[in-house]
Structure 1
Amino acid sequence: MSGTTHLDAAGTRLDEATVREYLATGAWRDRPLSSYLRVAIAAVPHRTAAVTRRGQDRTALTYRELGALVDRVRTGLRRLGVGPGDVVSVMLPNTHEFAAVIWAIFELGAVYSGVPTAYARREVTFMLNRAKSKVWIVPSEYRGRDYVAFAKEVRDQASTLETVVVLNLGEGSGSPERYGDLGRDEGLIGFDELIAGAPEPVPAPPPAAALSHLGFTSGTTGEPKAVMNTHQTLDAVLASWVKHVGRDTYGEPPVNLVPSPIGHHTGFLWGVLLSAYLRGTAVYWDRWNPDAAPGVIRDEGVTMMVAAPTFLQDLVRVVGDDPSPVVSLRMMAIPGAPIPRSLVPVARERLGCFICPAWGMTEWGIGVSAAPGLPSDRIDATDGVAVPGCRVRVVDPSTRVELPPGREGALEITGPGLFLGYYDRPDATAEAIRDGWFATGDLAVLAEDGQVTLAGRTKDIVIRGGENIPVTQVEDLLYRHPDVLDAAVVGVPDPRLGERACAVLAVRPDSMLTLADVTRFLLGEGLSKHFLPERLELVDALPKTMSGKIRKVELRDWLSG
C-alpha cells in the first residue's frame, strides 16, 4: 500500500474532476491529521491533552508531554521499518499510549487500523491479513485475557506481520518478569523497548491525500470490509461537524469523555482526533461504569461526550433528579445507533445539556446531525439535517430513483467526507457507490426542510448498544452445527441496548439444542463473545419468500409481539 493516494488507490470512488472540485472549494485542505497535534502543542503546550482512567488509577499528560511520547513511539516504529503506506494495527484498551501510537503512525505517513480488544482469533486474523498489517500492538493482559499467548497464536496466520509490540498494563500474569521475556522471542517486543531510543526529529508531514485509516465494518455479506479514508476525507468530516454544531457547543476548553473504544470508529474519530482538533482534553476511560460516570464527569470537568444511546440511557438513570455531578456537561452526541425518540427530551431535562441526535458510520463519521439552533421539537422527532458538504437523498431501494420529500426510501449520501472505497474490494465499492452516491443501507424519510428521519435498515445487521453484529457471519457458523437445518439471526428490541440478537433455528426432529449449546459451539468456531445470540427460538420451519429468502421482518414482528 506504500505511497497510495486518493488517485491511485485501486477501486476508489474518485475521478479527477471530483478531486479538483473538492480542492478548489476548500472542502479538502492541505492539512494532514498529524497537524492537529502539532498545532495544539504550539498553541496550548501546558494544557492537559490526555487523561487515562483505569480503575482507581489516573494518568494525565500535557500536550507537550504527549508530543514527547509521540516522538519516541514514532522513532521506535520507524526503526521497526514502518514507513509511508505501511499498516499498523492496534488492539489496545482506551489509554493515552493508544492515542500516542495513532499520532506516531500519522506522522510517519503510515496507516492506522484499529482492532477491538474483544475480538477473537477469527476476526483478528482476517483483519490483519486483509489490511496487510506490518506491525500489531496489543496489551500484555486485559480483563483476564492473555494477549501475549493470543498474539503468538494469531501471528503465524498473518502473512505480512513482522512485529508484535506488547504494552504492559500490569494486569495479572502480565507481570514485569514475564513481560521481560519478550526480548527472547524474535518478532515480539515490549512497548518500553519500542520507545527506549533517543527520539528523532519530527519528519516532514505526509501528503494530505494519502491513506490514513483502514476502519473495519461488517455488512450483509458477513465479511468485514476495510473502509479507506485519507487525511483529507477525515479532516472534512471533522471540520463539517464542528462547523455544523458550533465550536462553542463543546465547551471551552473542551473536555471530552471517551468511553467508546478507540479501536472502533467512534472512539478514534470523535475521541482522539476531535479532542486534538479542538485543542481540548481527552479523558480515556477503558470500562464504562454507569454508577461511576457522574463522579468521573464531575472530577474531570467533562464538557462533552460522543457515544452510543446505551451510555445516555445509563447516565439519565443514574443521575435521576440530581444533575449536580454533571453540571459541566455541555453536549452529548449520539451517532452510533438509533436513539429512542422519548429519551431526547428526558435526557435534555435531566442532564441540562444539549442532546445531539446524529447519524454516522465508518464510511462517513457524522453526515446527519442535530444542531443547537434547530427547534427542540424537530430535534426530538428527527435525526437532524445534513452537515455542511454532505448531500443526502432518499431513493427507491430497487431502482435508486430519487423520491420526493416525505417518502420513505433508501438513504444515500455523497460529498468530501465520504470514504474512498473498500480496500482490496473494488467489487464491494462499485456495488455500494454508484455515480458518486453511497448506498448507506439505511431507510429514511427526507422532509421538505431537510430534516432526516431514520426508519430502519436495509442492511442485515443487528445493532446492540451501538455495536454492529454481523448477522450473516453468525448464521454461516450456525449452519455448521450438525443439528441446524435452517438459521436466521434477527434483532429484538431491548430497552437499554436497543437490540439483542436472537437466533431462530429449524433443527433436526430429535435435537435438544439449547442456548448454552449454541454458545459453546460458536465460541469453538472462533466467534467473538459480543457477537453471540442472547436468545434462542426453535421452530419447525422459517418463513420464506417465493424465491427462498427468509422473511426476517415477519420474524422480528413475531419475536417483538
Structure 2
Amino acid sequence: MTETAHALSASRTLWELVARRAALTPDRPVLIQDDRRLTFGELRDGCERVAAGLYGNGVRPGTVVAWQLPTRIETVLLAGALARIGAVQSPVIPFYRDREAGFALRESKAEFFAVPGEWRGFDHTEMARRLGARGVFEAYEPGSLPDGDPSVLPPPPADGTSVRWIYWTSGTTSDPKGVLHTDRSLIAGGSCLAHALRLAPDDVGSIAFPFAHIGGADYLVMLLLYGFPAVLFEKFALPDALETYRKHGVTTAGGSTAFYSMFLAEQRKQPGEPIIPTLRLLAGGGAAKPPELYHAVVREMGVQLTHGYGMTEVPMITMGAPDDSAENLATTEGRPPEGMEIRIVDGEVRLRGEAVCQGYLDPEQTAAVFDADGFLITGDLGHLTPSGHLVLTGRLKDVIIRKGENISAKEIEDLLHEHPGVGDVAVIGLPDPDRGERVCAVIEQPASATPLALPEVTAYLRGVGLATHKLPEQVEVVEALPRNEALRKVLKYKLRERFAPSGPAGA
C-alpha cells in the first residue's frame, strides 16, 4: 500500500475518507457511467448537498434508512450522503422482492426507504407501498435525490466504531440475517482488498455487481484509498458489456467465480484476440474458484487472476496478490492482511480483527457466532499453509456424511470442473435411508456438450483417482444452476429442495 493510501486507511469514518481524498485529488474521476463522470471533488460536494436535502426531510444521525437501488452514480451519492449525516443505512439488493425486502424493512425498523421506481419491469414503489414502508422516495434519475444547502448540516460523525450499516446475508441459505457493520470495519475490509491488489492511480476499475452488496462498500473504499475511477454497470451481461469495458479502458474487472467463467466463455469465441485489450487483472471473491478456472483464465485470456475470501460478516478476509506464485493463486484464497487473525479449530475457520462485524440484529444469533475468545465462527472449513495462505475445503454444512464418512463437496466439484463436458457443478448431500446421505452432482453443461449421466461421471472420477466411497450416486443435469443475484453464488438449498423428495438412486 502506498504511503498516501496507508495514511488514508487510518480515517475514522467513511465520510472522513471521502473528504480527505477529495482534498488530495479533487479533479480526478472516481465514478464513470455511460457518458457521465464524477470527480472526487464532485462526489464530496454532491454528497453534502444530498445530505442537506435528507436532513431537511428529517433524516438525523442514527436514523435508519433502507435503500434498494441499482448500481448507479445516484446510489453512491445517497450512500455517501447518509455517511455524512451519520445515519444507519440498510442496503437491500435490488432484485429482492416482497419477502426479502419486507423482512429487511421490518427487522431494521427503517424510517425511510429509497427505491428506483419502476426498474427492469418491476414497480418498486408499489411494492414499498404494499409493504407499508415509511418515508418512501424514489432515487434513480439524475437530479432525483433530495438537495439542500450544506450549511444546515451538523458536524460529520467523528466516531467510526458505531454501527451505521445493516447488510443482509444474501443468498446460499434461505434465512437472511441483518449483519451489523461500522465505518471502521468497512474501511478495514476495503483496505485489505486495496493492499492485496496493489492498484495504481492510472488503473480503471469496474463495479458490475450490485453496489448494495457489501462488496460495493469494499470497492468504494479502494477507490478512495488509491484515487482511481471505476466504471459502473447497472446491468451486466456479456457480450453487451464488452464495448463499455473497451471504451473506458478498464484494467481490472471481475466480481466472483461466475464472472471469471463468463469472461472466459467470451474469450473462447475469439481465441488469441483479447476481448478487452486494456485488461490486466481479474479479481473477486464469493464462492471458491476451481484451480482449473484460474489456469484457463491466465492461459487463454493472458491476464492475471487473484481471488479472495470474504463474507457479509467480514467483507475481506484474505486476498491473492498479483505476485503470488501460480500454485498459491490457483489453490488458495490468498493471505490475510495485518490485523486479521485466522484460527483453525477442528478444521473450521475462525476470525478476529477490525474488519469483523459487530454481530447480528438478533442478539441470540450474535451470541452463537462468536466463541469465548471473540473469534467469529465462520462455518467454513480450511487450513493454513506454511506460507500463511488459506486453503478452503468447503462449508461445515457442505460436508456430506455418507455411512459415517465425511466427504468434501468441494473436492468433487474441483475435479468435475476439469471435465470438458462440465460448465459448472454443485455437489450436494441428499437424505438417504440407508447411507444417511448420498452424493448428488448437479451439472450445468456447456452448449452442444455430449449429455452426461451417472456412469460417465463416476468413470471419469475413478480415472482421476477419487476414492470410491466419495463417488456420486446421483447425477442431475440442469439447464442452469440456481444463483443469487449479487455475486451469482449457487443456491444449494434450492437444489436440495428440488432433488431430495423421492429422488432416484441414480440418474
Instruction: Return the letter of the residue paired with 2:155.
Output: A
Contact 1:28/1:232, CA 8 A, preserved across alignment = no
The residue aligned with 2:121 is 144
Residues 1:36 and 2:17 aligned together: yes
Q: Aligned-pair distance for 1:74?
A: 0.5
Q: Aligned-pair distance for 1:459?
A: 4.0
Q: Aligned-pair distance for 1:144?
A: 0.5
Residues 1:115 and 2:92 aligned together: yes
Q: Aligned-pair distance for 1:168?
A: 4.7
TM-score, length of structure 1 as denominator length: 0.68
Q: What does 1:6-405 align with in structure 2 at a 5 Å threshold?
A: 29-53=10-34, 58-154=35-131, 156=132, 158=133, 161=134, 163-169=135-141, 192=144, 194-195=146-147, 197-200=148-151, 203-206=154-157, 207-217=159-169, 222-246=174-198, 250-270=199-219, 272-320=220-268, 321-396=271-346
Alpha-carbon distance between aligned partners in 1 of 2:32 and 2:8, rounded to the nearest angstrom:
32
Query: What do the CA deviations read for 1:165-213 (whole angstroms, capped 9, x no partner)?
Result: 113559xxxxxxxxxxxxxxxxxxxx73722x44436642311222221
Q: What does 1:393-432 align with in structure 2 at a 5 Å threshold?
A: 393-396=343-346, 409-423=347-361, 425-432=362-369
Q: Aligned-pair distance for 1:289?
A: 1.3
Query: What do the CA deviations read for 1:383-404 (whole angstroms, capped 9, x no partner)?
Result: 22222211112212xxxxxxxx
Cα separation, partners in 2 of 1:495 and 1:430, compared to 1, 3 Å:
farther
TM-score, length of structure 2 as denominator length: 0.75
The residue aligned with 1:446 is 384
Unaligned runs of 5+ in 1: 1-25, 171-190, 397-408, 464-468, 472-487, 497-514, 520-529, 543-554
Q: Secondary structure at the match of 2:392?
A: strand
Contact 2:70/2:94, CA 8 A, preserved across alignment = yes
The residue aligned with 1:404 is none
Q: Aligned-pair distance for 1:218?
A: 5.2
Contact 2:29/2:40, CA 8 A, preserved across alignment = yes
Alpha-carbon distance between aligned partners in 1 of 2:214 and 2:325, rounded to the nearest angstrom:
29
Q: Secondary structure at the match of 1:326?
A: coil
Q: Aligned-pair distance for 1:377?
A: 1.7
Q: Aligned-pair distance for 1:268?
A: 3.2
Contact 1:327/1:351, CA 8 A, preserved across alignment = no
Alpha-carbon distance between aligned partners in 2 of 1:201 and 1:412, rounded to the nearest angstrom:
45
Percent identity over the alignment is: 27
Alpha-carbon distance between aligned partners in 1 of 2:284 and 2:192, rounded to the nearest angstrom:
17
**Over the residues paired in the alignment, what is the CA RMSD in angstroms?**
3.5
Instruction: Return the letter of the residue paired with 2:165.
Output: H
Alpha-carbon distance between aligned partners in 1 of 2:227 and 2:96, rounded to the nearest angstrom:
32
Alpha-carbon distance between aligned partners in 2 of 1:323 and 1:202, rounded to the nearest angstrom:
53
Alpha-carbon distance between aligned partners in 1 of 2:300 and 2:9, rounded to the nearest angstrom:
39
Contact 2:266/2:275, CA 8 A, preserved across alignment = no
Q: Secondary structure at the match of 2:291?
A: coil
Q: Secondary structure at the match of 2:356?
A: coil
Contact 1:72/1:200, CA 8 A, preserved across alignment = no
Cα separation, partners in 2 of 1:372 and 1:90, compared to 1, 3 Å:
same
Contact 1:52/1:94, CA 8 A, preserved across alignment = no
Query: What do the CA deviations read for 1:521-555 (whole angstroms, capped 9, x no partner)?
Result: xxxxxxxxx99947944744x8xxxxxxxxxxxx9
Q: Aligned-pair distance for 1:95?
A: 0.4
How many residues are treated as equivalent by the alignment? Answer: 423
Q: Secondary structure at the match of 2:355?
A: coil
Query: What do the CA deviations read for 1:485-513 (whole angstroms, capped 9, x no partner)?
Result: xxx9x9835468xxxxxxxxxxxxxxxxx
Alpha-carbon distance between aligned partners in 2 of 1:118 and 1:345, rounded to the nearest angstrom:
33
The residue aligned with 1:458 is 396
Alpha-carbon distance between aligned partners in 2 of 1:393 and 1:495, rounded to the nearest angstrom:
38
Alpha-carbon distance between aligned partners in 2 of 1:79 and 1:491, rounded to the nearest angstrom:
56
Q: Aligned-pair distance for 1:276?
A: 2.4
Alpha-carbon distance between aligned partners in 2 of 1:323 and 1:294, rounded to the nearest angstrom:
13
